[in-house]
Every structure is written in structure tokens, then in C-alpha cells.
Amino acid sequence: MERVWRTCCRMEGNDAMEKDGYRVLPVMEETGYVVVDSYDQASDPREWEDLVYVDWKSSGDTRFAPLASAYGDMECNGFWNHTPPKTDKDGVWVTENVDIAPILTRRALEPGANVGRCRVIELRPNTYGEALYNLHRDDNNRLNPEGTGWIVRAFFNLTDDSASVMILRSDKDDPTTEVRIPMPAGQQVVIDTQSFYHAVWHPGNEPRYCLITSYESGPELDEWIAARHPRTSIDNHPIDEHVAAEGEALAESKRQARAAALAAKGEDPRFGDGSMAVQGEKEVLSEA
Ligand SMILES: [Fe+2]
């Protein structure tokens, strides 16, 4: 596998991958995700249980504990929503949480790449249909100057959620494009979350915790991945066909209800459909 990073060209058939002028990693371009060696999570203390969490927007269903934020404050807003705005790089460590979670901080720093947002997510149990409804792309590269590295995200699962999966779709409305990556404790996955629609289906009884870090693509991240037996395709985690059908139906009904509610308020009913243009105006979709 060639490991020399390169400047990306536009990839045919996927308008999300407008990466012209950005440095990308060949290993990430194969499928858009890479699973690397698992981490021995069971040997570490459960630092995430002591972190300070903040609510994401108003939903209350998902909370984040920031380890690095735009300017070091205890908050999780996109870096571009600050003054001055910045791209998802050069995150400033949040002292209070870093002091609580030195091991998680060390893991986030391990690849040696530029770190943007870094936080632990607390995700409450959900259904497959709710996860499909939550499918979204991240806006990782807003304000990212061309000529620099494309920003991707690493997901280090902390709790042992073997029945939970990271759902990826290149086309959010096409189940045949779906990848389901199981998330047991210690799972380490790097994903181009601006190109993939993604959300986690977490059917457990307890919240799921995962360390999520934005990294700039470059030789440091490339070497970290290469040293950990990267796999750019996996056997899809199985799903019952009835569960899949019910999920599609639930997600569609929720989309229609949302569109109707927005239309009734005179707002753009496309809002929340996952399109980058609309997300750019208003971002409310759940993070995963
Ligand atoms: Fe996301």
C-alpha cells in the first residue's frame, strides 16, 4: 500500500468528495474509513465517568465532554462558530477535563497529527431507525485552507458496545451503500466523516462512550495508521431484515414529520436532510 500522501483529485460519482487541493491519505481514500488494531481498553481506568459533560444543543440525548475546544472553554461548538472563526484544527486543551482524563488525552495525542475538536461523546441507546434519521455528514473542513491536510475523525470506543455499530452510507437514502462497523471496547476507527453519512446505532441499555478526535491528514496520521494493521474493508455487522425495514420506515416517517413541521413554520423543509448546503446554514443534527 502506497503511503505517500498526495493532493486529492475530485472523485467521480461522489459530490461530497470535493477535496481538490487538500492533502489526503491513500489509505483513507480506498473506502473512506480504516479500522486499526484494537486498544486494550479494559486495562485503563474509566476516566470518562468523571469528565465534565455539556449538553449538545437542546436535545439532551447526547452530551459531550470536551478535551479540546476552539479556545479551551468547556464547550463543544464548531470552531467556525467562534470569534475569530477557525477551522477544525489547533484545538485548545480544556484544562479541567484534561486533568481528569490524562490517558484519554494521551491517546488523542498519540498519532501526533494536528488535533481539532477532541471530546468524549455520551450517546444514549437508540434504535436503528433513529440512527438512520440521524445520519449526517460533518463539516470538518469548513475554513480549511487548500494545500493543507483534509480533516478526518478518529473514533476510539470506550464502553464495550459490541452490539452497537457505526453506520456509514455514501448515499444516505441507499441501504446498499451501508457499512456497519461494530464498536466493542477498544475499537479504533478513522473515518472521513465529511464524505460519509454516519451515525451510531446503539441498542444497549447504558450510554455509549467514545473518544472522537479531529485530525489533519498528513504523514503523522499516516504512520500511526500504517503501524496498526489497517483494514479498509470489513464484514458488515449483520442486521435482521425486519429490523432494517422497520428502521427505514421509522426514519422516513420522522423525516416527513420534520419537513412538515418546518414547512408549517415557513422554514426550508429541506433543512436537516443532511445536505451540506442546508447544514451550512443551520446545524442541528445529532453528532455520533
Ligand atoms: Fe458526525
Ligand 1 mean position, distance from CA 79 (Å): 14
**What tens digit of pLDDT does each residue of 145-158 get?**
999 999 999 999 99
Determine the pLDDT at residue 103: 98
Cell (9 digits) for 253: 416517517
Q: Give the pLDDT of residue 83.
A: 94
What does the pLDDT read at residue 259?
A: 87
Residue 195 has pLDDT above 60, yes or no: yes
Question: What is the distance in angstroms between the CA of the first residue and the CA of the last residue of the chain?
Answer: 30
Ligand 1 centroid to Cα of residue 137, in Å, is 6
Give the Å distance between the CA of 40 and the centre of ligand 1: 25
Cα–Cα dist 244/240, whole Å: 6
Ligand 1 centroid – CA 32 distance (Å): 14
Residue 71 maps to a domain: yes
**Which long-range contacts link 72-81 to residues 24+ away (Cβ below 8 Å)?**
76/117, 76/119, 78/117, 78/139, 78/142, 78/283, 79/116, 79/117, 79/143, 80/139, 80/142, 80/143
Range of the domain at 238: 31-264
Give a yes or no: residue 286 inside a domain.
no
Does the N-terminal peptide bond of residue 145 adopt cis geometry, omega within 30 degrees of 0? no
Q: Ligand 1 centroid vs 134 CA: distance in angstroms?
A: 9
Q: What spacing in Å lies between the alpha carbon of 288 and ligand 1's midpoint? A: 5
192 Cα–ligand 1 center, Å: 10
CA of 189 to the centre of ligand 1 (A): 13
Q: State mean pLDDT over 188-201.
A: 96
Cα-to-centroid distance, 202 and ligand 1 (Å): 15
Domain CATH code at residue 240: 2.60.120.330
CA dist 25 and 2 (Å) reads: 9
Concatenated DSSP letters of 155-202: EEE-S-EEEEEEEEESSTT-GGG-EEEEE-TT-EEEE-TTTSEEEEE-
Q: How far is the CA of 139 from the centre of ligand 1 (A)?
A: 8
Report pLDDT digits (tens) over 218-244.
Answer: 999 999 999 999 999 999 999 999 999
Residue 238 inside a domain? The answer is yes
User: Is pLDDT of 266 > 80?
Assistant: yes
C-alpha 196 – ligand 1 centre gap (Å): 9
Which range is most confident: 11-15, 51-55, 222-226?
Answer: 222-226
- Kindly state whether residue 270 falls inside one of the protein's structural domains: no
Lowest mean pLDDT among 1-10, 66-75, 152-161: 1-10
Q: CA–CA distance from 36 to each of 11, 181, 202, 225, 229 (Å)? A: 24, 12, 21, 7, 6
Residue 129, domain member (yes or no) = yes
254 alpha carbon to ligand 1 midpoint, in Å?
A: 19
**pLDDT (tens digit per residue) in 92-148:** 999 999 999 999 999 999 999 999 999 999 999 999 999 999 999 999 999 999 999
Q: Which value, in Å, is the radius of gyration of the alpha carbons in the chain?
A: 18
Span from the CA of 261 to the centroid of ligand 1 (angstroms): 24
Evaluate if residue 281 carries a pLDDT over 70: no
Per the structure, the count of domains in the chain is: 1
Q: Is the pLDDT of residue 185 over 70?
A: yes
> From ligand 1's centre to the CA of 282, what distance in Å?
15
156 C-alpha to ligand 1 centroid (Å): 14
Does residue 146 form part of some domain?
Answer: yes
169 CA → ligand 1 middle, Å: 12
Query: At 90, is the secondary structure helix, strand, or coil?
Result: coil
**CA 282, 286, 287 angle in degrees (round to 5)?**
105
Supply the mean pLDDT for the chain: 88
For the record, the C-alpha cell of 151 comes out as 480533516
Backbone phi and psi for residue 64, each to the nearest 5 degrees, phi listed first: -130, 145
218 is a domain residue: yes
In a domain, 274, yes or no: no
Q: Which residue has the higher pLDDT, 275 or 105?
A: 105
Ligand 1 center to residue 55 CA distance, Å?
Answer: 16
How many residues are there in the chain? Answer: 288
